[in-house]
Amino acid sequence: MARPARERLLKLAIGVAVTVPAARIAWRFYAGALGPNPIAEALNRLGFWTLVLLLAGLSCTPIKILTGWAFPLRLRRMLGLEAFAYACLHFLTYFAVDQFFDFGEIWKDIAKRKFITIGFAAFVMLIPLAVTSTNAMVRRLGFPRWKRLHRLVYLAATCGVIHFAWRVKSDLRQPMLFGFVLAVLLAIRVVDHLRAPSRRRPA
Amino acid sequence: MLIHKPSDIRSSEITSRVLYLRRREFLAGGAATATGLALTLAGCKSQASPTPAAPGLALPGVKKGPFGTAEPQTPFSDITTYNNFYELGTDKSDPSKNAGSLRTRPWAVAFEGEIKKPQVIDIDTLIKLYPLEERIYRLRCVEAWSMVIPWVGFPLGDLVKRLEPTSRARYLAFTTLLAPEQLPGQKTGVLDWPYVEGLRIDEAVHPLTILAVGLYGKALPNQDGAPVRLVVPWKYGFKSIKSIVKVRFVDSEPPTSWNRSAPREYGFYSNVNPAVDHPRWSQSKERRIGEFRRRDTLPFNGYASEVASLYAGMDLAKNF
C-alpha cells in the first residue's frame, strides 16, 4: 500500500525546511549581514546546524522506541544526508574561505589542533555513511554489515560534540547541551537493547 | 490657505539626547520592579542632571596623540557590535544588545595599596585630570582577529606618577565592576567574577599604555568597557580590562581572570606573539575585521620597537 500522501508531504516539508538555515546563512553572508566577522559567523552557524541535524537524525529511533511512532524513521536517511551536506559546507567554508586553500596551515591545524583533528575525523567518518546511504548500497553490503557500518554515526556525532566543546573559550553551555541530548539519545538505545535483547529492532 | 496649528509639543518637552540614549535603562528600571511607578519616578530623578560624558556624547578637546597607525580604522559599528565582554554575554553580539543594563554614573575608581596617595576618583574628575588624546592602536584578540581603534584616553603613567607608588609597588591589579544585576553575565559561571587583570608597573607606566574613556571622539559605549578601561596594545585584548572600579598597587604578581580559568592557555604576560601558539589554535595569523584574507600577526602586535626591551632576557615561550 502506498504511504499516505500526508506523510510524504510532511517529509518533503521537513526536508525543505532543513535547507532554510543554509540558505539564510548564504544570503546573509552575501548581503554582508553576518556581522563584523562573517567568515567566523558562517563557520559557527554551519557547525551548529550540522550538530542539530545529526542529533535530529539520531532521535528518530528513540522516538520510535518511546512512542511507537514509526514515521520519523522514514526521515532518518534524509536528515543524515542533510547533516552531511551541512558538514560539507562547514568544512568547505573552513577550507576555501577561512584558510583560503592554505594547505600548509590546514595540515598543521589538522595535525596539531586537537579540536580540528577531532572535527575533521568526524567529517571523514560521515563520508562512507553518505556514500552507502542508497538502497542499492544497503543491498550490496547486506543489511547486517550495513547496519554495523552505520553505527559509526554514534562516534561521528560524539566527535562532533567534542569538537564544539574543545573549540569554545570558556562558555561550555551549548556544547554541554548537545552532549546531554546525545547522551540521552544513546542511553535510550542502550536501555532498549538491554531490556529486549532478542527482539529485532529497527536499526 | 493652510492654517498651521502650532505644534503641541513644547521644546521643553522634547526628550534630551542623554535621556533618549538611556531610554532602555529607563524601561528596564520600570519593568524590573513590582512597584513600578515608584522606581520609575526615582529613575526619572536620577536622569534629571545630564551626565557630562554619557556613552555616545562627544568628548571635548581631544588632541592627536603619539604612536598612531595610519592603517584603515575599523568602522565604529564593528567596534561596538563585535565585543568580548562576558559580563554582558558570551556571544560577540551580546554586549551591544545587553549594554543598556550597565549604569556608568555615578562611578568612581579606587586607587589603593602601595601608593602614598590612595584615593577614590570620581569618573568625571578622572576624565578631566589630563588632556585627552586620540590613540589609534591595533587591537589583537587572542581569538586571532584584530581591529584598528581610535581610542580616546590618557597615559596611565601620568596617573601612576600622581599616586606616588611606594618602593614595594611592583604590579598593578585591576578589577571590573561586580554588579550582577547590571552585568547579567556575572550570574553565570563562565569566569570567576569580578574580572581581574594585572600589569607589571613598568608595563603600566609605558607611554603606550592608556586608560581609555572614549573611541572615535565620543565617550566609550558600555559594551566597549565604559566608563573607563585599560588599553595595552601590545598584549592580547583580554588584558585591556573594561569598566574598571579598582586599581591596587601590589608587590607580587596578581591573579588574572583568564589565567585562573585556563592557566595552560593564558599567561600573565599575554604579549601578542606569533611564535607562541594558543594550545588550541595558531597565533601566527589574524583576520583583520573587514578583510578577507588572514594577515601575519606581528610580534608585540607591531609595537616591538617600543616594548620588546621590557622583556629583555625573558623566555617569552615560558612567560607567555
- For B205-231, what is each residue's pLDDT tens digit? 999 999 999 999 999 999 999 999 999
| Contact across the interface for A100 and B78, Cβ inside 8 Å | no
**Cell numbers representing residue B64 in the block:** 592627536
Residue B227 DSSP one-character state: S
pLDDT above 90 for A154 = yes
Place of cell 588550541: B280
For residue A99, how far is the Cα from the chain centroid?
23
Question: Which of A37, A108, A115 has the CB atom closest to B282's CB atom?
Answer: A108
Question: Which of A37, A113, A170 has the CB atom closest to B281's CB atom?
Answer: A113
| Contact across the interface for A37 and B92, Cβ inside 8 Å | yes
Give the per-residue pLDDT at A4: 82
pLDDT band with cut points at 50, 70 and 90 for residue B29: very low
Give the per-residue pLDDT at B275: 96
pLDDT above 80 for A193 = yes
Residue of B84 and B31 predicted with greater confidence: B84
Q: List B58's β-bridge partners, or say none.
A: B218
Which of A170, A171, A127, A168 is closest to A149 using CA atoms? A127
Which residue of B lies nearest to A44 if distances are taken between CA atoms? B91
C-alpha to C-alpha distance for B155 and B205, rounded to whole angstroms: 8
| Contact across the interface for B143 and A171, Cβ inside 8 Å | no
pLDDT above 70 for B153 = yes
Give the per-residue pLDDT at B10: 53
Give the per-residue pLDDT at B44: 40
pLDDT band with cut points at 50, 70 and 90 for residue A170: confident
Tell me the average pLDDT of chain A.
Answer: 94
C-alpha to C-alpha distance for A54 and B160, rounded to whole angstroms: 56
pLDDT band with cut points at 50, 70 and 90 for residue B48: very low
C-alpha to C-alpha distance for B256 and B175, rounded to whole angstroms: 10
Secondary structure, 3-state, chain B: CCCCCCCCCCHHHCCCHHHHHCHHHHHHHHHHCCCHHHHHHHHHHHHCCCCCCCCCCECCCCEECCCCCCCCCCCHHHHCCCCCCHHHCCCCCHHHHHHHHCCCCCCEEEEEECECCCEEEEHHHHHHCCCCEEEEEEEECCCCEEEEEEEEEEEHHHHHHHHCECCCCCEEEEEECCCCCCCHHHHCCCCCCCCEEEEEHHHHCCCCCEEEEEECCEECCHHHCCCCEEECCCECHHHCCCCEEEEEEECCCCCCHHHHHCCCCCCCCCECCCCCCECCECCCEEEECCCCCCEECCHHHHCHHHHHHHHCCCCCCCCC
CA distance to partner chain A, nearest, from residue B281 (Å): 6
**Cell numbers representing residue B105 in the block:** 554614573
C-alpha to C-alpha distance for B103 and B101, rounded to whole angstroms: 6
Give the SS3 label for residue B176: strand
For residue B30, how far is the Cα from the chain centroid?
28
Indicate the angle between helix axes A152-167 and A143-150, nearest 10 degrees: 10
Give the per-residue pLDDT at B3: 56
Any chain A CB within 8 A of the CB of B145? yes
pLDDT above 80 for B175 = yes
Type of residue found at A65:
I
pLDDT above 80 for A157 = yes
DSSP codes of every residue in B94-135 = HHHHHGGG---SS-EEEEEESBSS-EEEEHHHHHHSS--EEE
C-alpha to C-alpha distance for B314 and B56, rounded to whole angstroms: 42
pTM of the model: 0.84
pLDDT band with cut points at 50, 70 and 90 for residue B7: low
Which of B108, B143, B139, B144 is closest to B126 using CA atoms? B108
Mean pLDDT along residues B150-164: 98
**What residues 130-189 of chain A have any CB closer than 8 A to a CB of chain B?**
166-167, 169-171, 173
Q: Would strands B108-113 and B119-122 be described as parallel, antiparallel, or unpaired?
A: antiparallel
The answer to whether the beta carbons of residues B251 and B170 sit under 8 Å apart is: yes
Tell me the pLDDT tens digit for each residue of B123-136. Answer: 999 999 999 999 99
Question: Which of A100, A114, A166 has the CB atom closest to B293's CB atom?
Answer: A100
Count of residues for chain A? 203
Place of cell 608597573: B201
Answer whether the bond into residue B106 is a cis peptide, omega within 30°.
yes
